[in-house]
Amino acid sequence: MRRPDSLSAIRRIAVASLGVAAIASAAAAHADEIEAAPVSADESAGAAPLPFGVTYQLRSDIYGQDREINVYAPSLPEWGEDLFKRPLPVVILIDGGADQDFFHIAGLSQLTLVNAERQPAIIVGIRTYNRRREIVPAAVDPRYASGEFDGWGGAEQFRRHIVEEVMPFIEARHDVGRAVLMGESLAGLFVVDTFLKAPATFDDYVAVSPSLWWDDRRLSKDAARLLRGGDHRGRRLYLTMADEGGAMRLGLDELVAALGTDAPNVEVKFVDRSASDTHASIYHHAARDALRWMFAIPAETYGETPWYLTVDGDPPIPE
């Protein structure tokens, strides 16, 4: 997805509710139960922020500054108490700032409180401030260590930030189950880098259109060696790519091949979206697909076909 190289300074707040303009899914699901409210001549009458999570300014000793962390923790409805399992999984979302990918991924967790298609998850959005410097692994090829790439390569430091600062902060406030690392593009590269080099950091991994061109496809070239040398048992990895092609697709093909021969204990799902998506369009529905694969709830059967699903079905005669 398109993002600036560096982000403007975030406003400094300790803890505040995040507002969204509209959450349409719940309203649409119950549209037949709701009467339209009259339109007021004063559109601001009764206006109030709509809470959707909490944003923290978490002090980081690793970075020597406050860092934005956004959290959506679902409040389970009464009807879901026996359906939704605790502890809830937690999704660690890279590029999870309020103006990055937090809201649309958190919305996927809210969606399942309406349609019960999968287990809801706690979404922890970690903002990146200079994603190229922060989440890209250090280069081995000298061509990627200077010039326009000068300063890139802080993935190890960012991983320490997650493990030593973010996760303890979240675990002190929430009971969490399986931990999922999710990211797209350069954040997807960070996901693959973490899966290959530090697999025990998370239980599950979701990499959407990972930028495997980086460092002359270093990660995919080293994948077989890293898989043989690490303990990846019990991990799940979801991979998908759009129509990027070129070195990105070659890197992904090399990674998938290595997973097929050198990671027999890893559950892998690869979805080829090259015929239907671009780098800009792939993320949201791919993330939903990944979460459904990992945490699906079997759909209820309709049983005997009700009259209203039968062509020319007759409503029952009132008694």
Residue that has been written with the tokens 């969606």 in this structure: 111
Measured in Å, how far apart are the chain's first and last C-alpha atoms?
Answer: 58
Q: Which of 3-7, 178-182, 289-293, 312-316 has the lowest mean pLDDT?
A: 3-7
**Tokens (6 digits) for 41:** 């001549």
Which regions of 98-247 does DSSP assign to beta strands (E)?
122-126, 176-184, 204-208, 236-241
The closest alpha carbon to 106, from 92, 117, 116, belongs to 92
The closest alpha carbon to 255, from 314, 193, 199, belongs to 193
pLDDT at 10 over 60: no
Which regions of the chain does DSSP assign to beta strands (E)?
15-19, 51-60, 65-72, 88-94, 122-126, 176-184, 204-208, 236-241, 267-272
Mind listing the domains of the chain with CATH numbers?
Answer: 49-297 (3.40.50.1820)
**Tokens (6 digits) for 197:** 């080099």
| pLDDT at 50 (0 to 100) | 86
pLDDT digits (tens, 9 = 90+) for 17-67: 333 333 333 333 333 444 555 555 566 678 888 889 999 999 999 999 999
> Residue 81 — pLDDT band, cuts 50, 70, 90?
confident
Provide CB contacts within 8 A for 272, sequence distance 6+.
Answer: 240, 241
Residues above pLDDT 90, as percent of the chain: 74
Q: What's the predicted TM-score (pTM) here?
A: 0.84
The closest alpha carbon to 272, from 262, 260, 286, belongs to 286
pLDDT at 76 over 80: yes
